[in-house]
Amino acid sequence: MGEQRLLEVENLSTSFTTEDGIVRAVSDVSFHVDRGEVLAVVGESGSGKSVMAMSLMRLLPKNAFVTGWASFEGRDLLSLSEAEMRKIRGRGMAMIFQDPMTALNPVFTVGNQIAEAVRVHQSVSKPLAMKRAVELLDLVGIPEPGQRVDSYPHEFSGGMRQRAVIAMAISNDPQLLIADEPTTALDVTIQAQVLEVIITVQRATGAAMLLITHDLGLVAGVADRVQVMYGGRVFESGDTRDVYYGGNNPYTRALMRSVPRLDERTSDRLSSVPGTPPSLIRLPRGCVFWPRCEFSEQVCRTTEPELIQCGTDHVSRCHFATTLPEFEYGARLGA
């Protein structure tokens, strides 16, 4: 087992002190990522999915307070010194951000930035690092990488920039890629291109991936396992099929049913979830989803449910996880 585990997180909680009160962005989250696997973290804004990733990278602002335990390749991430952490960032875990424009520095050429990323972790000469940059650009499908290496970020289109960001992320062969909404800012046809690059690269390097997204379609194709988050908590986690078809969690069910689908032939009403996600400053008592839940009962208002085992490696945070009515995924779709 130990060989397999790349990242193990237990009871991770992150809160921020703000002028309006304490924001409990992540509450008591535990999960693991095995070598080479793709774990998708799905949630809406305010679910804590991005903060969770930033907590692991230790890239949070000063007003953040993180507790819990996280082990990456056997090293305790949360107690490492900043210098040791820098060695892990990029080399052990690398990030792909949503906005490729802010992830690149506008005053340096793309090649320079990739070469720089290489040289932070490897003692290679500048020309050698530039050569590596060209190879990486080629790997992520940038045409004429030998010339484009000298371009500035603004000379790249959005899709090209995201490819460059991916090239930078894999420049030191990280064990774990953390991709935070990597395709959200892009056009539909470009999204498909970038997704193809990410998956190719992930398989070529054998890296594991933590894919953070709100896009249930993206997850359906690429994830081995899925973790659904809401109100800073893990609401459900399990193999992709189990989570999509199992129907063991009211929030996951509601999420699945509220998304219009491309293959939907009818125009019946969507089953929307009433209300809005909770404020992380004043979370509801009991289950944080109860005010919006179609199955909520008295117990939900008073007691927060634990994660309940629903199958092999499949857990759901609901008092009625195993007794919910049958769920027919895609029932709304026409023939």
Q: Can you tell me the distance from the alpha carbon of 15 to that of 25, in angstroms, rounded to the nearest whole number?
A: 5
Minimum CB distance to other proteins, residue 67 (Å): 18
Minimum CB distance to other proteins, residue 12 (Å): 17
Considering only residues 27-86, where is the footprint of other proteins by CB under 8 A?
37-38, 44-46
Question: By C-beta, is 115 or 141 nearer to other proteins?
Answer: 141
Q: Can you tell me the distance from the alpha carbon of 325 to that of 35, in angstroms, rounded to the nearest whole number?
A: 36
Q: Can you tell me the distance from the alpha carbon of 127 to that of 132, in angstroms, rounded to the nearest whole number?
A: 9
Question: Total binding residues for other proteins by CB under 8 A?
Answer: 76
Whole-angstrom CA distances from 263 to 45, 174, 245, 335 are: 26, 37, 17, 9
Judge whether 52 and 26 are in contact, CB under 8 Å. Answer: yes
Minimum CB distance to other proteins, residue 127 (Å): 30
Closest CA to 234 of 222, 258, 252: 252
Question: By C-beta, is 68 or 277 nearer to other proteins?
Answer: 277
Considering only residues 189-228, where is the footprint of other proteins by CB under 8 A?
189-193, 195-196, 199-200, 202-203, 214-224
Question: By C-beta, is 117 or 159 nearer to other proteins?
Answer: 159
As given in the structure block, the two tokens for residue 311 are 């199958």
Minimum CB distance to other proteins, residue 54 (Å): 13
Q: Can you tell me the distance from the alpha carbon of 326 to that of 143, in angstroms, rounded to the nearest whole number?
A: 50
Closest CA to 175 of 297, 73, 31: 73
Which of 52, 244, 249, 314 touches other proteins (CB under 8 A)? 244
Minimum CB distance to other proteins, residue 139 (Å): 13
Considering only residues 255-314, where is the footprint of other proteins by CB under 8 A?
255-256, 258-265, 267-284, 291-292, 294
Q: Can you tell me the distance from the alpha carbon of 125 to that of 4, in angstroms, rounded to the nearest whole number?
A: 35
At residue 141, the 3 state secondary structure works out as: coil
Question: By C-beta, is 93 or 280 nearer to other proteins?
Answer: 280
- What is the pairing mode between strands 38-42 and 93-96? unpaired
Considering only residues 148-167, where is the footprint of other proteins by CB under 8 A?
157, 159-160
Question: By C-beta, is 38 or 115 nearer to other proteins?
Answer: 38
Question: By C-beta, is 135 or 224 nearer to other proteins?
Answer: 224
Closest CA to 223 of 199, 194, 197, 256: 199
Minimum CB distance to other proteins, residue 314 (Å): 12
Question: By C-beta, is 76 or 217 nearer to other proteins?
Answer: 217
Minimum CB distance to other proteins, residue 256 (Å): 7
Closest CA to 25 of 16, 17, 33: 16
Question: By C-beta, is 31 or 156 nearer to other proteins?
Answer: 156
Question: By C-beta, is 106 or 274 nearer to other proteins?
Answer: 274
Region of 208 on the Ramachandran plot (φ > 0 left; ψ -120 to 50 alpha; else beta): beta
> Using the rule CB under 8 A, is 116 a contact of other proteins?
no
Minimum CB distance to other proteins, residue 18 (Å): 8
Stretch in the footprint of other proteins (CB under 8 A) among 60-68, 75-83, 165-173, 248-256: 248-256
Q: Please report the DSSP string for 7-64 in residue order.
A: EEEEEEEEEEEETTEEEEEEEEEEEEEETT-EEEEE--TTSSHHHHHHHHHT---TTE
Considering only residues 11-30, where is the footprint of other proteins by CB under 8 A?
18-20, 23, 25
Minimum CB distance to other proteins, residue 134 (Å): 20
